[in-house]
Amino acid sequence: MRTWISYRSRIRRTYQLHAQTIARLEKHRGHLYNWYNTRSLEPLAPLSVSSVDSGNFIASLYTVKAGALSLCRKPLFSSQLFVGLRAHWQLIQSHSRIAVPLSRCILPDASAAAAAWIDWLPVADAALAKAESALISDSSDQWWVAETRCRIAAILILLRDYLPWLLPEFGPLRELGELDLGLSEDRLSIVASAAFSEQLNARLAQASVTLPDSSRLPVLCEQLRTSLPQATRNLRALATDLRVIAQRIDSFAEETEFGFLVDPGRQLLSIGYDVTGQQLHSACYDMLASEARIAAFLAVARGDLPQQSWLNLGRSHTRAFGRFLLLSWTGTMFEYLMPALWMRSFPDTLIARTLAACVEVQQAFARSLDIPWGISESGFARKDDSGHYQYHAFGIPQTALKFDATAGPTISPYSTFLALGIDSRAALRNLHQMADAGWVGDYGFYEAIDYASSPGSAVVVREWMAHHQGMSLLAILNLLRGNIVQQWFHANPLVRSAELLLNELPASRAVLKSKANESKSLKRSSRKAA
């Protein structure tokens, strides 16, 4: 079984690795360059800054800052840990070869108290160890067993290092009312747990004097007392680590300037800056339905752009498959939905209706071809001379301003993950359809399924892109934890100060029809000009 390091060590090591690396990277006015040599960390030519990438980066920094501070205020131990473990256990029992050895190890009820789950952990680990010894080496069953044992070990290590009074062996002490151990389950924040640990030490010292020597309780009291000082230090150090992370991340964000990326004539963000030539790119992100929506929002919130700049973003509408929605440049789900990983869309607003319409249009387009839905920029089946898959911004032509936009059709599973927050049931059905077709590998869903390269058949693009996998994980987190990424992002006072921009109401149906006709004329004009 793999070696588990402590909860605090994982947080510190992850943060230090990223923070130290980012601190070493050469930057321009706080912005990371587009490309670096991964070995030397030297920036690669052409030296340039991307507005949209920097916007995503700053949004992520604000989110992590709020998340770190939120963790300080929330319980370190939560019954949510067992929700995931229950699902994992049920999955492992579905494997026939290992179901029998585990059948005697009954899962606690979904409503069971945390203490019942904690007592179940060592019993479950013993059952898994027995099942593991009977499995063939390198089988998929063995992976499931090892992974489940690791999850159990991680919870037990968390309890041992930070909350030892919750460990199964100290269960008898929970019956002693004077220790108040029942109050510490799933309720105390990290800071409060440290104070509780110190108070518990004193209560244990008093209780051990009054308890009868003939019982095991005095021995258990002393054993628990021995572990409390280190647990207290761990809890205080973890709280300090989280605050340091928040402070350092805030400094990264504040050092990043956006003012120089503003086109002064149009009062919009340029798509980027050529550092070598010291020149702002002439093109601007000028559409609200764009992946740069979050960068524009942050520039306004930070005061680098006036509020009027938000209104300068294009709001051209179109009608596709019976739905009105904002035009995007290439009709990709990425353009419409990626900013929603962080940004809230309030009910019945312009953005909320556009996001819903985007998903419905994608679904209608796919039904017309009898294929799964979800088209966005992605890799596709064609390869270069080095054997690398090529990349293209696929989108729904009917929702694209770009006259030569094409759908491929190439389906990218990450696009469906982006839609989890818009139409979760349909998105899950779509993902199940893809999984049933075998479009999943060791690292999750493959990059794409190309229907265009080989007419009549689907060619699986067998690669994984970290960017697309990362967005999928954020979307899953939002779905399972009540849009927690959005909550963290909007917890920042700076973000809340500009929230009113996101409450823009849509135009009337008559106005939308007029705008859709104007957009069709605009697309015809751009096609003729090309």
**What pLDDT does 40 receive?**
93
Residue 355 has pLDDT above 80, yes or no: yes
Residue 463 falls within a domain, yes or no? yes
Is residue 393 classed as helix, strand or coil in its secondary structure? Answer: strand
Mean pLDDT computed over 291-302: 94
d(CA 118, CA 188): 17
pLDDT digits (tens, 9 = 90+) for 392-433: 999 999 999 998 999 999 999 999 999 999 999 999 999 999
Give me 263's structure tokens.
């086109």
> Rounded mean pLDDT of 453-462?
85
Helix ranges (DSSP H) in 318-373: 333-337, 350-369
* 71 is a domain residue: no
How much is the pLDDT for 206?
83
Query: 195 CB contacts (<8 Å, ≥6 apart)?
Result: none
Kindly state the DSSP code that residue 391 receives in the 8-state scheme. E
Whether 224 is covered by a domain: the verdict is no
491 part of a folded domain = yes
pLDDT beyond 50 at 3: no
Q: What's the CA gap between 37 and 30, in Å, rounded?
A: 18
pLDDT in tens, 305-342: 999 999 999 999 999 999 999 999 999 999 999 999 99
- Is the residue at 232 inside a domain? no
Give me the pLDDT at residue 171, please. 84
Average pLDDT value for residue range 83-106? 74
Its domain, for residue 440, covers 315-530
Task: Judge contact between 240 and 247, C-beta under 8 A.
Answer: no
- pLDDT at 446 (0 to 100): 97
Output the pTM of the full model.
Answer: 0.87
Give the C-alpha separation, 188 to 76, whole Å.
7
Question: Is the pLDDT assigned to residue 135 strictly greater than 80?
Answer: no
Q: Is residue 474 part of a domain?
A: yes
Q: Is the pLDDT of residue 77 over 90?
A: no
CA distance 399 to 326: 8
Structure letter (DSSP) for residue 327 = -
Domains: count for the chain: 1
Residue 514 resides in a domain: yes
CATH number where 464 lies: 1.50.10.140
Q: Examine residue 443 and state whether it is found in any structural domain, yes or no.
A: yes
**3-class SS of residue 266:** coil
Confidence band (pLDDT; 50, 70, 90) for 2? very low
Q: Which of 100-114, 490-504, 507-521 has the highest mean pLDDT?
A: 490-504
Mean residue pLDDT across the chain: 87
The two three-digit tokens of residue 436, written as one number: 């049933």
Identify the helix (H) or strand (E) that includes residue 27: strand 27-28
pLDDT of residue 113: 81
